[in-house]
């Protein structure tokens, strides 16, 4: 097989890149190690920056999102029992946010690729990237048969555990990592969400009320890393969640059986550079952020925006300026989101080594955020997502 761009991974980053390249007339093939059913079963975040909404619309996959996505003006934070503030992005950053699940986005992208007659090669094994500094190719096995794709570029969109990043020699990459001493215990329930997305900084630990659609809610509580899911039946989870919110919020939470329950460890991770030879990384293959602030999916979309533009300019206009600047440009946004996610995680969680001074400093920062318009504007601008570089 031969193509212009071989895309490794059929998550949102890989599928969106395939969609945008196809719209620009750039030939591509997508390889995925899992089945389509498995990819669509992965339930992830669903809070979109407005820039991400616009990218999805420009990519021809916005109709369902426009109909079913829930617009909101930002996020509330509650602390010290009764204090509350709103990160109102419409007021302070002149743009709203949208709640629309990552599973829905993946479904929309699959439908678009199907409509374009662009098959995804699923359940591939033994994927190996070759000659990335000269004339790249990808070999893989499918149904016991070894196949090869000759290409001009490889896009690694295969996540943190994929083969793409590890194909860059260790001497050519630098990794930055921070592991947090807790995780998020989360459930998904087919119940109406509360009206707002609300973070809680509670003496019992962090909690979050989030949304997916009018009949799908996502809730989290901070937990120890060694937490056993078997020790958390639904009734215990709901009781603990409500204990971390003021009564007016707790009383509005509609409970019901969970349809998914999991524990997510929290980590900040960045690998530099995001390009080596003719290999380009996008999404979780290059960076991980804690879910505080909902930046992960949005970063993947911004990576794809920059990479699709760079590849289109190269193939359609013989201009490699954006290819040469891709890593630096993407990493500026990545580090901005990584810093913001780290800051928000520090602000809202209880850490094992926190003393009375640390807790008072947290409270004071939240008080300052609630009373300073300049600080609020800065935080909302970062939460809503900065404009893409031209």
Which residues are identified as catalytic? 72, 199, 291, 295, 383
| Residue in 312, 2, 279, 301 with CA at minimum distance from that of residue 149 | 2
Task: Tell me, rounded to whole angstroms, the distance of Cα 266 from its chain centroid.
Answer: 13
Tell me how crowded residue 247 is: count the other CB atoms within 10 A of its CB: 10
Starting at the earlier edge strand, list the strands of the sheet with 174-189.
Answer: 83-88, 74-79, 197-202, 205-213, 216-223, 174-189, 258-272, 287-288
End-to-end CA distance of the chain: 34
Contact between 270 and 176 (Cβ < 8 Å): yes
Whole-angstrom Cα distance, residue 329 to residue 307? Answer: 10
Positive or negative torsion for Cα 159, 129, 15, 55:
positive
Whole-angstrom Cα distance, residue 245 to residue 162? Answer: 38
Q: Which residue has the tokens 């997508």?
A: 30
Show Cβ contacts of residue 152 under 8 Å, excluding neighbours closer than 6 positions: 4, 5, 136, 278
CA dihedral 367, 384, 382, 341 (to 10 degrees): 80
Report CA-CA distances (Å) from 331 to 56, 141, 274. Answer: 21, 33, 8
Q: Which residue has the tokens 């999805």?
A: 56
DSSP per-residue codes, 321-377: HHHHHHHHHHHHHHHHHHHHHHHHHHHHS--TT--HHHHHHHHHHHHHHHH-HHHHH
Whole-angstrom Cα distance, residue 118 to residue 28? Answer: 9
Name the token pair of 145.
Answer: 């048969």
């Amino acid at each position: 097989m031969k193509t212009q761009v071989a895309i490794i991974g059929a998550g949102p980053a890989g599928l969106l890149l395939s969609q945008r390249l196809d719209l620009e007339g750039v030939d591509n093939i997508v390889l995925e190690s899992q089945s389509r059913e498995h990819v669509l079963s992965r339930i992830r975040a669903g809070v979109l920056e407005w820039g991400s909404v616009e990218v999805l619309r420009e990519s021809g996959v916005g109709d369902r999102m426009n109909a079913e996505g829930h617009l909101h003006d930002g996020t509330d934070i509650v602390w010290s029992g009764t204090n509350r503030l709103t990160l109102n992005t419409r007021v302070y950053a002149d743009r709203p946010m949208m709640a629309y699940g990552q599973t829905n986005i993946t479904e929309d992208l699959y439908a678009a690729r199907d409509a374009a007659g662009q098959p995804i090669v699923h359940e591939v094994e033994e994927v190996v990237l070759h000659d990335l500094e000269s004339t790249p190719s990808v070999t893989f096995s499918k149904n016991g048969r070894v196949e090869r794709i000759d290409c001009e570029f490889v896009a690694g969109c295969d996540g943190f555990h994929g083969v793409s990043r590890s194909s860059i020699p260790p001497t050519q990459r630098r990794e930055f990592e921070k592991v947090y001493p807790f995780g998020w215990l989360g459930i998904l329930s087919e119940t109406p969400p509360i009206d707002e997305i609300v973070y809680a900084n509670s003496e019992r630990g962090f909690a979050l009320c989030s949304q997916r659609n009018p009949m799908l809610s996502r809730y989290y509580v901070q937990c120890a890393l060694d937490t056993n899911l078997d020790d958390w039946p639904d009734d215990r989870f709901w009781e603990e969640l409500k204990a971390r919110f003021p009564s007016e919020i707790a009383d509005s939470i509609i409970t019901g059986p969970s349809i998914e329950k999991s524990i997510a460890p929290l980590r900040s991770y960045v690998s530099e550079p995001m390009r080596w030879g003719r290999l380009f990384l996008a999404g979780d293959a290059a960076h991980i952020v804690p879910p505080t602030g909902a930046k992960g999916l949005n970063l993947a979309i911004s990576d794809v925006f920059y990479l699709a533009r760079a590849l289109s300019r190269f193939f359609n206009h013989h201009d490699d300026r954006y290819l040469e600047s891709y890593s630096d440009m993407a990493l500026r946004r990545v580090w901005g989101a990584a810093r913001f996610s780290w800051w928000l995680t520090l602000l809202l969680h209880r850490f094992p080594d926190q003393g009375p001074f640390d807790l008072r400093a947290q409270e004071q920062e939240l008080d300052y955020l609630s009373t300073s318009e300049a600080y609020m504007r800065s935080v909302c601008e970062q939460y809503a997502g900065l404009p893409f570089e031209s």
